[in-house]
Amino acid sequence: MMKNKREIKNTIIIYVGVTFMALPLWINKSFGHLDFEQLLFLVVSDGQGTAIDWMQVLNFILFFLPIWVITTMVIYYIKKNNITFNLKSKVIKLLSLVIVFCMIFAYDYQFKIFSFFINGSTESDLYERYYVDPTDTALTFPNQKQNLIYIVLESMETGFSEIVIDEEVVNLIPNLEYLAQNYTSFSNSNALGGGRQLKGTTWTAASLSAQTSGIPIQMTNIESGYNEKNGYLPGVFTLGEVLVSQGYKNYFLAGSDANFGSRETYFKSHGNYEILDIKHYKEIGVLEEDYNVFWGFEDAKLFEYAKHELLEISTQDEPFNFTMLTVDTHFLEGYTDLSCDFYYDSAYANAIHCSDNKVYDFIKWIQAQDFYKNTTIVLTGDHHTMNHDFALNMVGVEDRSIYNVFINAQFKNEALEYTKNREFSVLDMFPTTLAALGVDIDGNQLGLGINLMSGKETLIEKLSQEVLEAEFSKHSEYYNTNFLNESLAE
């Protein structure tokens, strides 16, 4: 009996060990390289509201099934032939060391764990040199304040406009490309393009805060956290707070639970946003308590609810900032409903193409409303798609960029040369968005972001992306003291 229990225990250990050994390969195949900071952020942030992605579960099982089958065959062969191993032999000990070393190397290659701790022991003076505090910057709003509709498009890259699907190069985002060509869009080339993805902005929650605060997430002080208990960048003054100080009312609409990734904490504490998420619509009876599609509710409902909210909000006297986050293009395969056209064999390609249509229809609806004349619309991606295999089909996969367009923008001294061949990131969206509302920004910089329409060099253009990301990897006493210190926000 004891022998059987021991054999079962050893067998379980073998399967767990084999799975753990192969896990970095699956992660790399599915997501590409992930920041160690992102994993830490998920640990310390508010994590409620996640959805089980059954396609991802299936992907995991299909990847590991052959490995488990081979493991089973090996175990069966060993038992059948009564093969035994001397665990004290030098060969076994050496083999064990090699396996452990390979596992350490694989996990470090995937997550850059050693680099995180080594770089974290080096001090950066980036913020002392380049950070501009919005509270110390003169901001002059126009007499007639513009409303803002800020739409964050999940995983939206410009590379979707030229990608190989079903052995043919196709454009999955023709409508978004049309908007970029006919309104103001900043590009890293002379054609359709966008901003670079920087370290500390590679997941949705981090990108949302970076776009509105001008700084990335840096996990150099884990104890401070990014959650309701300790605050989410409590010492930072953000877009939402700037707008509130000018009489704006802020809203955040998302189809998932806004609490996931501490997004609710961030938006409530930085601009007192009214949160319109799946919890809200269940509480007011619009959705059934057990309703759950994809990450919460799908984008068809998101745009339906947005229209209803905007018609109500636009009747108020105060200007508004209506920020919303789409979800149908989330990896692994996205989400499609019956309104979508299924042109491709790839589910994710269909989801992206359908989202392109939905977003465009929503923009046309806004433009048909009376409030549009006093409203600026910003469309922006949050980060690169995490569907790594799909991204490899992009014609320009080596030069990936995040989508953006500004519609009915009130830029002053708008110049075409400032929109082309630019090197920038989501950090620059903070001051550029205010400039699009017709705001004069003394110095044209907020946080680490630059007003792109000013023509002033961004930090990427000044330092290079490599240097900037290297600085983000280092410890920053300024960051910890000024941004993570709750007392500074009081």
Q: Say if residues 331 and 34 touch (Cβ distance below 8 Å).
A: no
Position 27 scores a pLDDT of 67
pTM equals 0.85
Residue 36 lies in a domain: no
- Nearest Cα residue to 215 out of 316, 338, 109, 124: 124
Domain for residue 157, yes or no? yes
Residue 136 lies in a domain: yes
Kindly state the average pLDDT of the residues 173-198: 98
Q: Which string of b and e fits 415-451 if b means at least 16 CB within 10 Å?
A: eeebbeebbbbbbbbbbbbbbbbbbebeebbbbbbbb
Give domain status of residue 102, yes or no.
no
Q: Does pLDDT of 60 surpass 60?
A: yes
Q: Which of 85-89, 198-202, 211-215, 404-408 bottoms out in mean pLDDT, i.e. has the lowest?
A: 85-89
- 3-class state of residue 96 by DSSP: helix
Q: Does 177 reside within a domain?
A: yes
- Count how many domains the chain has: 1
CATH number, domain of 415, equals 3.40.720.10
> Which domain, by its residues, includes 351?
126-489
Q: Is residue 485 part of a domain?
A: yes
How far apart are the C-alpha atoms of 383 and 198, rounded to whole Å? 9
More confident call, 44 vs 216: 216
Q: pLDDT digit string (tens) for 10-50?
A: 778 777 877 877 777 766 665 556 677 777 766 666 655 55
Q: pLDDT tens digits for 135-180?
A: 999 999 999 999 999 999 999 999 999 999 999 999 999 999 999 9
The pLDDT score that the predictor gives to residue 447 is 98
Give the span between the Cα atoms of 263 and 201, in whole angstroms: 14
489 CB-contact burial (10 Å; exposed 0-12 / middle 13-18 / buried 19+): middle
pLDDT reported for residue 489: 42
Q: Give the C-alpha distances (Å, rounded to integers) separating 487 from 231, 233, 243.
A: 11, 11, 22
287 domain-assigned: yes
Q: pLDDT tens digits, residue range 383-402?
A: 999 898 899 999 989 999 99
Average pLDDT on 37-65 reads 66
In eight-state DSSP terms, residue 197 is P
For 248, 264, 269, 292, the CA distances from 274, given in Å and listed in that order, are: 12, 9, 11, 22
Strands 404-407 and 449-450: unpaired
Residue-level pLDDT at 331:
85
Q: Is residue 448 part of a domain?
A: yes
